[in-house]
Structure 1
Amino acid sequence: MKKIYIGIVVSCLWLVSCKHDEWFQRESKTTITDEQLWNDPKLVTSQLANYYDRLPSLHGVFNTGGMTEIDDAMWSGTRDQNGKNDFQYGSDYGRYWDYGLIRDLNLSLESIEQFSIKLTAEQKNLFKAEMRFMRAFVYFEMVKRMGGVPLVTRQLIYDFSGDPTPLQTPRAKEHEVYDFIYSEMEAIKNDLATNNGIKTRANKYTALALESRAMLYAASIAKYNSLMAAPISTPGGEVGIPAAMATDYYNKSLTASKEIMSGPFALFNENADKGGNFYDMLNKKTGSEVIFAKDFAVGLKVHRFTYDNIVKSMTEDNEASSAISPSLSLVESFDYLDGTRGTLRDKDASGDYIAYSNPIDIFAGKDARLFGTVIYPGTTFKSSPVRLQAGVAVWNNTSYQLSTSAELGKNYTDGQTWTGFDGPKDDAVDVSNTGFYIRKMVSDAPAASTRGTSAANWWPWFRLGEIYLNAAEAAFELGRPEALGYVNSIRARAGFPANSLSALTNNIIRNERRVELAFEDHRYFDLKRWRIAHLVWDGSETDPNAVVMGLYSYRVIRPGHPDNGKYIYARVRPTRFRRARFFRMTNYYSSIAQDVLNNNPKIVRNPFQ
């Protein structure tokens, strides 16, 4: 054996010496060279997939928590997260500073230009356009949080000279970042047309949608910041956009929106049931409304939004939760179809409870988008009834005594429900604390609330409903009459009569955005760009927008009275909601991390920080 082993070694050495060139020139089986990567369409597409997956949202796509429960909802999940209900916006809230992704995109753009010799011109232009779209998208996500940021469009390579000054790029003016986004989209939109019809990659309409949104943000900041008693700005323009620029930005937003609306999209209208239709729009992954989405697939990449927010009694996993409870304020922002305000009628003019024959009756005649967004008493989910009942209201000869059970699903002494399996229950964990659950984007697919399967419905980056509202807002600000038609179209899809509005106001447009786009990561930024966030989340313990309120249903126990067996509703402030939301002036622009300031002395701080 020893001789054989030595012989093999000698043979190998002989082969190496005799086949020197062939041995060292063989292609690696584990390493991909730049020449291989940037000349193979499949490999380039794989690289792009990585970048698409890293595109940002406020706290991560489908991340339970973050913006969802601090805008129009409260946290009802585990106790260790209770700080979310004792929340005041920190100066770093919403911070995003991702030059790692910017660097990777810049490197890829330079590499494809240098190494791609086998790709067709069309392939090369498409891949470059997608990278430029994502880079602009990242810059938009930074500028809307941070104000002007350094505009870096090439690799910054250190020369090891000991002087890092050439790498220290100052912040651009706020408007310069928005201008960069617009010019990039204009330059690449036609190259992206090859992807038209693909909803999970950038295409021409995706570029236009980014124009529509970004230009609207720039316009409203230019207008409404200047109207503040003390406009928020820095001497170098890193924060603050001149008011004179507003009109041009509104026009750019409107132009982009109109081009999208004249394209191949239509408001989703595949279900005759208006409420079900609104839910289906984002749940089915079909139809003509979604322009650009982050996709998921069971067995490949899934999310746990359903696992974290399924109705309590419908959990398919022992550890699944019901972590987010929508607010009464949100529910009441959905108007009635007859045009009256959405305030729910829980009491009459004299202050007495109004008794309803069925729990759902108090919501009768509401904007159908409410059903597609929120689960409320008397409704169903996954074709099963949601059992929302806080307790019983026992008449004691002068008033009602409201009584709840410590155990969900327990019957009262009359053999009927005391507190429903789905609550609501005050100061409880993993059950609604407000009387409402989230429906929007909670998947009804089998096993979607289990850890093993999870959910695969997509996340909408851009959809036509937003574009209609962008167009309406821009047209309204420009004094254009077509604004009214855009809003009425959105409302008609929600069940309102045709031409339900005869005139528009800012408040109407803003409320339409609140109800149409609820839980889609818009409201926080909308209130900031309109410069009213500090007025809405004012820290007041009596403000129904700053404080998350709930609405609890009770079954009436009053033998011999017509109201016996009916339902009344009580407004409550959940115990777990501990402190009113308080948005300070410093929160209009997130603070820049100290390590960034330390590494680049050319970076100036944001106002109030």
Structure 2
Amino acid sequence: MKKFYISIALLACLSMNSCKHNEWFERDPKSMITDDQLWNSPTLLTSLMANYYNRLPALHGLFNTGGTTEIDDAMWSGHRDQNWHNDFQFGDDYGRYWDYGFIRDINLSLENIEKLSLKLTSAQKRLFIAELRYIRAFVYFEMVKRMGGVPLVTTQLVYDFSGDPTPLQVPRAKEYEVYDFIFQEMEAIKEDLKDNNASKTRANKYAALALESRAMLYAASIAKYNNLMSSPISTPGGEVGIPAAMANSYYTKSLNASKEIISGPYALFNENADKGANFYDMLNKKTGSEVIFAKDFATGLKVHRFAYDNIIKSMTEDNESSSTISPSLSLVESFDYLDGSKGSLRNKDASGNYIAYTNVQDIFANKDARLYGTVIYPGTAFKNNPVRIQAGVAVWTNGRYQLTSSPELGKNYDDGQVWTGFDGPKDDATDVSNTGFYIRKMVSDAPAASTRGTSAANWWPWFRLGEIYLNAAEASFELGQGESLGYINSLRQRAGFPANSLSSLTMDIIRNERRVELAFEDHRYFDLKRWRMAHLVWDGSENDPNAVVWGLYGYRVIRPGHADNGKFIYERIRPSRFRRARFFRLANYYSSIDQTVLNNNPKIVRNPFQ
């Protein structure tokens, strides 16, 4: 009976004048978007682009709480069920990224815009195509810096059901060919991205130049430093390893891109006279002219929980956990003193006696202001409230100090003054600093940012001008050009150093400047890899202050009648929760390729040591 009624309806419609053009049957569906709607609607295409931007990969970034504990800049101090962060060894698959599903989606979108976007203006079509090519190149960069050369696929691979899959089996490109592809793509599209120049969250011309600046610096470094190894890491087909003769060309490309950005519309953030607060504000305020390209967040729409997971202990709101990242003493000491001396903290004199400081923060006096903007240390404040960091008391007994801590945070000693601060530090504890330091950088101070209901909306920086200055300095230095010094001095002056604080440069200085300027921004792991230094820094030695995370605990002196009574001394400690030194092997310079990929494509060459 049902079929009968449908037949009657069909005949009736065909006999009616209103159905003569089949309008009744050709209505757009209500539950799906058609190709014509998607590829011809700037609004829908912008939504598609937002999805793709959201899929851009990172290793530790994008507020992935705990990721940064896997390097020497911090340790894990959160839930014990994740204490593997402190017993971490770099596995063969560490950092692996091989996302050809994403590449396929981008290639499909490019082909569909070319064929189906008939109602877009030429300017709209050109811009969307350029953005897609930018995202694809970004993905290829994220793959090559982890895996070495990967298959370069720029069109859809469509199976013809012939039973022969070999046309779909694309071999790996040479490592340098992937870097060349990224450069060529950026050169081809950068002018097409100019309509986005006012945006910091969509690819624009300067974001393209920033990708050039970074990627070409990586390629140059690998070409130089890999070949300086006693046994360079390479494969016979060049899937891994870049010829040394290519280094200067890549350094030049990086430098040229950096210079174009520096001469563009951006400026180092310098809106706050307080140099330390200024450095924090740079990434927290979402204002100013330093950030070139960022992943954005918005309260009520898309937020992250970095502040929720890392707010200082005494300022938790509705958190069940907090303070999951404890910065390392090694990081804190990498920030130099403003007089130019090295940043080692002076807790003892040449004879091995404790140095007593009048105020708990005095040991950090006259330090690079970037330290304040990056780390919360004793005697500072957050959200306009003083932090309460004090490990315990040092009681003078029988000619020596006896260091004691309270079993309870925030408890007073017998003299009615603080024993152990509510913010710790406390050894072998959860949700409180284990090193004596908390992370400040990118922990939002906005109202309710550390609550579950609101969370934080400060952005994640993909590229900012501070990095570009560092890229320019490094490339210029490697090319033997004197302008590198000016770039470094500009960053140091922004951090409180006097003008022209350095009169000469070394690569060690440049490397340290990258560490302090870009701390917790997802650079150090890849920097040490491209310089071929990772196996030397994370050497597995239990006596190495970089392979092992150390802390610094401050104690209030109890020594009645002595000039040091009421002052503070400091002790270097290895937190109990940090179990094993980081160990990076030569095999870790290139992540292993998943066995499923190797099984599906016999043309794929394994990485060295795998």
Q: TM-score, normalised by structure 2?
A: 0.97
Indicate the SS of the match to 1:402. strand
Q: Distance in 2 between matches of 1:15 and 1:60?
A: 62
Closer, same or farther: CA 494–297 of 1 in aligned 2, 3 Å: same
Q: Is the 8 A contact 1:70 1:84 kept in 2?
A: no
Q: Is the 8 A contact 2:280 2:373 kept in 1?
A: yes
Q: Which residue of 1 aligns with 2:104?
A: 103
Report the AA paired with residue 511 of structure 2.
R
Q: Is the 8 A contact 1:339 1:500 kept in 2?
A: yes
Q: Which residue of 2 aligns with 1:461?
A: 462
Q: Structure 2: any 5+ residue segments left out of the alignment? A: none
Deviation at 1:24, TM superposition (A): 1.4
Following TM superposition, the consecutive aligned residue runs of length 4 or more in structure 1 with deviations greater than 2 angstroms are 7-23, 67-71
Q: Which residue of 2 aligns with 1:53?
A: 54
Report the AA paired with residue 173 of structure 2.
A
* Cα distance per residue 1:222-275 (max 9 Å; x no partner): 000000000000000000000000000000000000000000000000000000
Deviation at 1:22, TM superposition (A): 3.2
Indicate the SS of the match to 2:24. helix
Report the AA paired with residue 326 of structure 2.
S
Deviation at 1:60, TM superposition (A): 5.4
Q: Distance in 2 between matches of 1:50 and 1:155?
A: 20
Report the AA paired with residue 311 of structure 1.
I
Indicate the SS of the match to 2:431. coil
Deviation at 1:68, TM superposition (A): 4.4
Q: Distance in 1 between matches of 2:91 and 2:176?
A: 25
Deviation at 1:402, TM superposition (A): 0.5
Closer, same or farther: CA 184–318 of 1 in aligned 2, 3 Å: closer
Deviation at 1:318, TM superposition (A): 3.4
Indicate the SS of the match to 2:579. coil
Q: Which residue of 2 aligns with 1:414?
A: 415
Q: Is the 8 A contact 2:311 2:450 kept in 1?
A: yes
Q: Distance in 1 between matches of 2:119 and 2:49?
A: 18
Q: Distance in 1 between matches of 2:329 and 2:555?
A: 16
Q: Which residue of 2 aligns with 1:128?
A: 129
Identity of aligned residues (%): 80
Deviation at 1:27, TM superposition (A): 1.6
Q: Distance in 2 between matches of 1:193 and 1:352?
A: 61
Report the AA paired with residue 503 of structure 1.
S
Q: Which residue of 1 aligns with 2:95?
A: 94
Q: Distance in 2 between matches of 1:379 and 1:116?
A: 56
Deviation at 1:397, TM superposition (A): 2.9
Report the AA paired with residue 125 of structure 2.
K
Q: Which residue of 2 aligns with 1:524?
A: 525
Report the AA paired with residue 400 of structure 1.
Y
Q: Which residue of 2 aligns with 1:397?
A: 398
Q: How many residues align?
A: 605
* Cα distance per residue 1:81-102 (max 9 Å; x no partner): 1111011100110000111111
Indicate the SS of the match to 1:565. coil
Q: Distance in 1 between matches of 2:390 and 2:70?
A: 22
1:490 aligns with 2:488: no
Q: Which residue of 2 aligns with 1:595?
A: 596
Deviation at 1:432, TM superposition (A): 0.2
Q: Is the 8 A contact 2:347 2:363 kept in 1?
A: yes
* Cα distance per residue 1:455-478 (max 9 Å; x no partner): 000000000000000000000000
Q: Is the 8 A contact 2:71 2:525 kept in 1?
A: no
Q: Is the 8 A contact 1:534 1:583 kept in 2?
A: yes
Report the AA paired with residue 222 of structure 2.
I
Q: Is the 8 A contact 2:412 2:420 kept in 1?
A: yes
Report the AA paired with residue 418 of structure 1.
W
Q: Distance in 2 between matches of 1:308 and 1:338?
A: 36
Moved more, 20-29 or 104-113: 20-29
Report the AA paired with residue 499 of structure 2.
A
Q: Is the 8 A contact 1:69 1:326 kept in 2?
A: no
1:323 aligns with 2:324: yes
Q: Which residue of 2 aligns with 1:434?
A: 435
Indicate the SS of the match to 2:581. coil
**Structure 2 matches for 1:513-592, cutoff 5 A?**
513-592=514-593
* Cα distance per residue 1:96-141 (max 9 Å; x no partner): 0111111100000000000011111111110000000000000000
Q: Distance in 2 between matches of 1:425 and 1:405?
A: 9
Q: Is the 8 A contact 1:71 1:523 kept in 2?
A: no
Q: Which residue of 2 aligns with 1:144?
A: 145
Closer, same or farther: CA 427–489 of 1 in aligned 2, 3 Å: same
Q: Which residue of 1 aligns with 2:245?
A: 244
Closer, same or farther: CA 124–558 of 1 in aligned 2, 3 Å: same
Report the AA paired with residue 501 of structure 1.
L
Q: Which residue of 1 aligns with 2:155?
A: 154
Q: Which residue of 2 aligns with 1:278?
A: 279
Q: Distance in 1 between matches of 2:28 and 2:212?
A: 45
Q: Distance in 1 between matches of 2:347 and 2:559?
A: 18
* Cα distance per residue 1:307-344 (max 9 Å; x no partner): 11110110111313110000000000000000000000
Q: Is the 8 A contact 1:220 1:530 kept in 2?
A: yes
Deviation at 1:12, TM superposition (A): 5.9
Q: Which residue of 1 aligns with 2:345?
A: 344
Report the AA paired with residue 474 of structure 1.
A
Closer, same or farther: CA 485–112 of 1 in aligned 2, 3 Å: same
Deviation at 1:26, TM superposition (A): 1.4
Report the AA paired with residue 443 of structure 1.
S
Q: Which residue of 1 aligns with 2:445?
A: 444
Deviation at 1:65, TM superposition (A): 1.6
Deviation at 1:14, TM superposition (A): 7.0
Report the AA paired with residue 251 of structure 2.
Y
1:80 aligns with 2:81: yes
Q: Distance in 1 between matches of 2:595 and 2:330?
A: 37
Q: Structure 1: any 5+ residue segments left out of the alignment? A: none
Q: Distance in 2 between matches of 1:239 and 1:558?
A: 62
Q: TM-score, normalised by structure 1?
A: 0.98
Q: Which residue of 2 aligns with 1:233?
A: 234
Q: Distance in 2 between matches of 1:78 and 1:11?
A: 68
* Cα distance per residue 1:467-508 (max 9 Å; x no partner): 000000000000000000000001000000000000000000
Q: Which residue of 1 aligns with 2:181?
A: 180
Deviation at 1:28, TM superposition (A): 1.2
Report the AA paired with residue 265 of structure 1.
Y
Q: Is the 8 A contact 2:134 2:185 kept in 1?
A: yes
Report the AA paired with residue 445 of structure 2.
D
Q: Is the 8 A contact 2:551 2:574 kept in 1?
A: yes
Q: Distance in 1 between matches of 2:37 and 2:134?
A: 24
Q: Distance in 1 between matches of 2:330 and 2:431?
A: 21
Q: Distance in 2 between matches of 1:58 and 1:351?
A: 41
Indicate the SS of the match to 1:321. coil
Deviation at 1:71, TM superposition (A): 3.1
